[in-house]
Amino acid sequence: MMRRIAAVLAGLAFTLPTSVSAGPVPDGYKLEQVLMLSRHNIRAPLANNGSVLAKVTMQKWPDWEVPGGYLTVKGGVLETYMGRAVAGWLVEQGLLARDACPAPGSVYLYANSLQRTVATAQFFAAGAFPGCDVALHHQDKMGTMDPVFLPAFHDEDENAKAEAVTAMTARARQLQLTPGYRLLNTILGFKNSQSCSQDRLCDLTKGSDSFSAKKGEEPNTAGSLKLGNAVIDAFTLQYYEGFALKDIAWGKIRNDAQWQTLAAVKNGYQETLFTTPAVARDVARSTLAYITGAFARPETGKAVPVTLMFGHDSNIASVLAALEANSYDLPGQDEKTPIGGLIQFQRWRDTKGGRDLFRLDYVYQTKQQLREGSELGARNPPRRVTLTLKACPADANGFCPWSDFVKVLP
């Protein structure tokens, strides 16, 4: 794998970026600014053999080559491909010059200060700007969450925190997760686990979930939902990393229908903790403030044309929910916020109509692209789906008035 990544990086120095498959753009529309919020690429599971995963099954979990939570080598390769593809789209849209490094002040890279997000940004830059001196910004203290990327509660009001707990509890009760829990019971041999013998939780379908909202901390839960999410996260990462099928969930996930059943639990966890209005508006506050600042007063000409933020699925989920994005599907993906995917906040100018416009796209790789690790290009582009916001009604091409989008921002 190390030879492979060296070959990828060496090859990028001599090849042009390839284009992301873009949606329809009417004649006369010019992209003037874009801010991208990305999720890090493939990492080892956050829960490792010495923690929750060891308690939920008697079976041995496969080993990873990097510590828990760290970006893997394959994750770096995939992010290099993504950087190259996104840069090709930026060249195509005229925000970057072809065969040249970005002009000073034209690109700003900003990552959360964890290994997986900083490394993701570094590999993205290697793919997008090979051989160029493009600075990466992050806070000095590594291993701690940057407040801009920390999806924590800010509100000190006890009523607001109680409202958040009520909202999370209500959302969890709406989820239809029994099929996923039953499948996990079988895969894990859950009734023989430490969770059963020590914690008296022997059937995930019968576990209760409790939620908490504390100032300065992320939304949290305890119970079947949290356990299920940790386990399915590990299985999903094994699949993306390219583990042999016999080693993924010990060979007990046999078809796409089962993957989708399990994904409902993982998506339900994120939906419950980060997307209810009572939660999202608060925990996304710092991230949205930064995004708002990046788009402030573009008429002065001082706004950075291309900004890239490297954070987490919780950032993307809470930001989209806080902005009241309409429901969406990502073809070829089971996750609502896929590994390595990014959302693009785009400011366009309709040169013929004299209008400023907004479009929001989700750029991502399918689960098969991630597993196969194949190079992205014109024949194998990352996917692009245009999202819409309730308060910014879009036309047939996904564009809405910039003035409407600005009203949505805090």
CATH number at residue 348: 3.40.50.1240
Q: Say which of 233, 313, 334, 361 is annotated catalytic.
A: 313
Q: Of the candidates 227, 245, 274, which is a domain's last residue?
A: 274
Provide the token pair at 97: 């010059």
Instruction: For residues 34 and 145, state if they share a domain.
Output: yes
CA distance 147 to 215: 13
Active-site position among 40, 233, 282, 312 = 40
Q: How far apart are the C-alpha atoms of 145 and 331, rounded to whole Å?
A: 31
pLDDT band of residue 22 (cuts 50, 70, 90) is: very low
- The residue with tokens 């020590």 is 198
Burial 86-95 (b: 16+ CB within 10 A, else e): bbbbbbbbeb
Q: Is 27 a catalytic residue?
A: no
| Amino acid identity, position 31 | L
What confidence tens digit (pLDDT) does each residue in 206-218 have?
988 999 999 999 9
pLDDT (mean) for 271-280: 96
Q: Which amino acid is at 104?
A: P
pLDDT of 13 > 50? The answer is no
Q: Which residue has the tokens 């059943």?
A: 261
152 torsion bin: left (phi>0), alpha (psi -120 to 50), beta (else): beta
Let me know if residue 317 belongs to a domain.
Answer: yes
3-state DSSP assignment of residue 34 = strand
DSSP 8-state assignment for residue 380? B
Q: If you average pLDDT over residues 90-115, what whole number do you get?
A: 95
Structure tokens belonging to residue 124: 């993205």
Name the residue range of residue 232's domain.
Answer: 158-274
Enter the pTM of the model.
0.93
63 part of a folded domain: no
216: left (phi over 0), alpha (psi -120 to 50) or beta: left
- pLDDT at residue 123 above 70? yes
Identify whether 327 is part of a domain: yes
pLDDT at residue 156, rounded to an integer: 85
Could you give the CA distance from residue 179 to residue 262 in angstroms, rounded to a whole number? Answer: 8
Residue 64 lies in a domain: no
* 400 and 294 in a common domain: yes
Task: Render pLDDT for 61-86 as a digit per residue (tens, 0 to 9).
Answer: 999 999 999 999 999 999 999 999 99
Domain count of the fold of the chain: 2
pLDDT at 17: 45
**Mean pLDDT across the chain:** 92
Q: Of 76, 81, 91, 73, which Cα lies nearest the Cα of 127?
A: 81
Query: Is 157 annotated as catalytic?
Result: no
